[in-house]
A and B are shown apart, each in its own frame.
Chain A
Amino acid sequence: MTNPVPRRAVLAGVAGLPLAALAGCTGGEPRPSAAAGGPARVRVLTGLGFQGREAYLDVATEMGWFAELGLEVEVLPGEGTEQNLTLLSAGQAEFATLDVNAALIEHSRGTFTDFRLTAVLQDLLLSCVMVLESSGIDRPRDLEGATIAYIPGGINDVVFPVFAQLAGFDAGSVELVGLPPPSFGAALAEGRVDAIMQFVVGRHTIEQAAGGQPVRVFAYADWLSELYGSGIGCPVALVDRDPGLVRRFNTAALRGLAYAVANPQEAGEVFAARHDGQDVAAAAAEVAALAGYVRPGEGFDGQELPLGEFSEVRLVQSVALLEGLGVIEAGFRFADVVGFGLVR
């Protein structure tokens, strides 16, 4: 037979329990400092974790370019566009790396409307399909009937039908297999899949994961030059409240980006020095692979824009393409989500 424990004893016992252990949690996060004379403290989210392709943030920090403009920057690991937008909304960061197309789609859907895209990082889409050179798949048309590993809902997946159409094969003929990204290289090497959807900068990592086997890259950008890659976004409230801070951040970040792409080995070394356990060669290879993708855009009159500035011509083309894919509602106004004149 069992008996319940007396209530009075319960109350007395509960009072002494070590809930004070909560004090061990460090929930306090940095906030932009408005203190006169001190640097403004801002947090920036990477696109996904810490990867060599985002070494420019470390370069700008290491070179003192953020500090020169009165900024103290903390680089935090992002989790993709959707989660980064959630974190921006929740006030957990002031800036975030976002896939421009995914951000346009989210804004169009009304999921997130409280942010602005303020700078372009990659003028072209980094998406690609990778195959082993030994696979016999020498051109995109050979992908018909292939099994391709992908991340469902990711930008590579969303744009894949257009890529397939432009590259001359039937997107419906391939079998798409959802896999966690870290297993892509091994799945390719083991022949579990014929191809993987990737970003061009991941080539070195995939080749390493595939046991050193060389891979062939079919870059979407070779057929699809309308779409941007990643950009920097921040809350609308920050743009409205302190556009100068946004400009200072973008100025230093883009300076870091230009320097990193021009000096990939050095950027890789800076990245590896600031992130223990990271491989210099892999980071340098990722930065080097950005070379053709980081470039100034062109305005309506064909005039070169400052690095990082959005081009209205490209945005018109991008929105039209995304509308054609059915992922953006007709009548979407990119001016509602893109902030111009915020890169310097």
Chain B
Amino acid sequence: MRTVPAAGWPVLGLPALGATVAVGGWWAVAASGRLPAVLVPAPPQVLAVFGRLPAYLAGNLWVTVTETAQGFGLAAGAGLAVGVVLASSRGLARAAYPVLVGLQAVPKLALAPLLVVALGFGTAPKVVMVVLMCLFPVVLATTSGLTGTPAELVELTRSLCATRWQVLVKLRLPHALPQIFVGLKTAMPLAVIGAVVGELFGATAGLGFVIRTAGSDTPLVYAALLLLAGLSIGLFYGLVAAERLLVPWTGHTTS
């Protein structure tokens, strides 16, 4: 019988090892002198920024977190809704997919100045940018998950006099959840990117604003990038935890 390895090392040790290798590589490049410090500052220089500007970085991180969470929540809700609608009608799906694919293909950077013109300098254009970045993977995953329910199970529930609502809620959605979470996990890093792209134009706060206004303070840029990476990792694993709570059977029924 196959033994299950202890959870501690794979769960914590391997990610820590990966991060250590990445930081070590970065440090080695910085120390080699092949690239100027203005391009690749050493890790201690970047760490010093956290000591120099803790409140500034924390405040701007919070702004980005807020925009990301608002936009992601909106995209998840809208993506689920659109996905359910498209899954209900093949004709509608055929009509809508070219538009969705086209929207996804548009370089979002080009839209950022237009969003500022339309929505002003507040959080609205940043939240909309996050939604634009995240919507497509959620719609795609939801539609795919909902339409992938085995027909035999649908027939079985109908033979038991289940209503259509019951079929959706009790059969199709639970069956689609693993796929929906794949879409959400794909969308999460895009949400952070969307918030930062939005903050590069017409923003007065946020980590994108920090990067934009850092000038020649490259360590500050790297500090903001590190926070963004940490934010993405944290939110991604938050989703993984939510998935384990909501879809506990996935780990037991898949290879």
CB distance from A323 to the nearest CB of B (A): 30
Main secondary structure of the interface of B (DSSP, over half): helix
Does A339 have its Cβ within 8 Å of any Cβ on chain B?
no
CB distance from B76 to the nearest CB of A (A): 8
Instruction: Determine the chain B residues whose CB is within 8 A of the CB of A278 once the complex forms.
Output: 213, 215
Question: Are A6 and B151 in contact, CB atoms less than 8 angstroms apart?
Answer: no
A19-B77 contact, Cβ under 8 Å, with A50-B213, A277-B213? yes
Question: Are A211 and B122 in contact, CB atoms less than 8 angstroms apart?
Answer: no
A210 to B36, CA, bound (A): 9
Does A8 have its Cβ within 8 Å of any Cβ on chain B?
yes
CB distance from A152 to the nearest CB of B (A): 16
Number of interface residues of B (CB under 8 A): 59
Pick from B85, B87, B118, B148: contact of A90, CB under 8 Å: B118
Instruction: Determine the chain A residues whose CB is within 8 A of the CB of B174 once the complex forms.
Output: none
A28 to B121, CA, bound (A): 9
Question: Are A12 and B165 in contact, CB atoms less than 8 angstroms apart?
Answer: yes
Question: Are B121 and A29 in contact, CB atoms less than 8 angstroms apart?
Answer: yes
Interface residues of B in 48-101 (CB under 8 A from A): 53, 55-56, 59, 70, 73-74, 77-78, 80-81, 84-85, 87-90
Nearest CB in chain B to that of A185: its residue = B216
CB distance from A114 to the nearest CB of B (A): 14
A27-B73 contact, Cβ under 8 Å, with A14-B84, A79-B113, A282-B215? no
Does A279 have its Cβ within 8 Å of any Cβ on chain B?
yes
Does B147 have its Cβ within 8 Å of any Cβ on chain A?
yes
Q: Which stretch from B3-11, B196-204, B239-247 is at the chain A interface?
A: B196-204
Does A301 have its Cβ within 8 Å of any Cβ on chain B?
no
Does A303 have its Cβ within 8 Å of any Cβ on chain B?
no
Instruction: Determine the chain A residues whose CB is within 8 A of the CB of B185 once the complex forms.
Output: none
CB distance from A275 to the nearest CB of B (A): 7
Does A36 have its Cβ within 8 Å of any Cβ on chain B?
no
Most buried by A among B149, B168, B210: B168
Interface residues of A in 190-208 (CB under 8 A from B): 190, 205-206, 208
Question: Are B81 and A14 in contact, CB atoms less than 8 angstroms apart?
Answer: yes
Does A35 have its Cβ within 8 Å of any Cβ on chain B?
no
Question: Are B122 and A92 in contact, CB atoms less than 8 angstroms apart?
Answer: no
A211-B36 contact, Cβ under 8 Å, with A9-B164, A13-B84, A21-B77? yes
Question: Are A7 and B88 in contact, CB atoms less than 8 angstroms apart?
Answer: yes
Question: Are B70 and A7 in contact, CB atoms less than 8 angstroms apart?
Answer: no
Does A18 have its Cβ within 8 Å of any Cβ on chain B?
yes
Interface residues of A in 52-99 (CB under 8 A from B): 76-77, 79, 83, 86-87, 90, 92
CB distance from A21 to the nearest CB of B (A): 5
A182 to B39, CA, bound (A): 11
Question: Are B213 and A92 in contact, CB atoms less than 8 angstroms apart?
Answer: no
Instruction: Determine the chain A residues whose CB is within 8 A of the CB of B87 once the complex forms.
Output: 4-5, 10
Instruction: Determine the chain B residues whose CB is within 8 A of the CB of A10 once the complex forms.
Output: 84-85, 87-88, 168
Question: Are A9 and B165 in contact, CB atoms less than 8 angstroms apart?
Answer: yes
Nearest CB in chain B to that of A13: its residue = B84
Does A1 have its Cβ within 8 Å of any Cβ on chain B?
yes
Does A2 have its Cβ within 8 Å of any Cβ on chain B?
yes
Question: Are B215 and A83 in contact, CB atoms less than 8 angstroms apart?
Answer: no
Does B146 have its Cβ within 8 Å of any Cβ on chain A?
yes
Question: Are B122 and A25 in contact, CB atoms less than 8 angstroms apart?
Answer: yes
A208 to B120, CA, bound (A): 33
Pick from B117, B121, B168: contact of A76, CB under 8 Å: B121
Question: Are B127 and A24 in contact, CB atoms less than 8 angstroms apart?
Answer: yes
Interface residues of A in 153-206 (CB under 8 A from B): 182, 185-186, 189-190, 205-206
Pick from B81, B119, B201, B215: contact of A279, CB under 8 Å: B215
Question: Are A276 and B116 in contact, CB atoms less than 8 angstroms apart?
Answer: no
Does B19 have its Cβ within 8 Å of any Cβ on chain A?
no
Instruction: Determine the chain B residues whose CB is within 8 A of the CB of A282 once the complex forms.
Output: 215-216
Does A17 have its Cβ within 8 Å of any Cβ on chain B?
yes
Question: Are B81 and A26 in contact, CB atoms less than 8 angstroms apart?
Answer: no
A92-B116 contact, Cβ under 8 Å, with A13-B84, A79-B201? yes
Question: Are B168 and A189 in contact, CB atoms less than 8 angstroms apart?
Answer: no
Question: Are B217 and A3 in contact, CB atoms less than 8 angstroms apart?
Answer: no
Instruction: Determine the chain B residues whose CB is within 8 A of the CB of A79 once the complex forms.
Output: 113, 116, 201-202
Question: Are A4 and B147 in contact, CB atoms less than 8 angstroms apart?
Answer: yes
Question: Are A5 and B168 in contact, CB atoms less than 8 angstroms apart?
Answer: yes
A-B contacts, 17 listed (Cβ < 8 Å): A1-B151, A3-B154, A9-B168, A12-B165, A17-B78, A17-B80, A19-B77, A25-B124, A25-B127, A27-B119, A185-B38, A205-B215, A206-B216, A208-B216, A211-B38, A276-B59, A277-B210
CB-based closest 7 A-B pairs: A6-B164, A27-B124, A209-B216, A29-B120, A9-B168, A25-B124, A18-B77
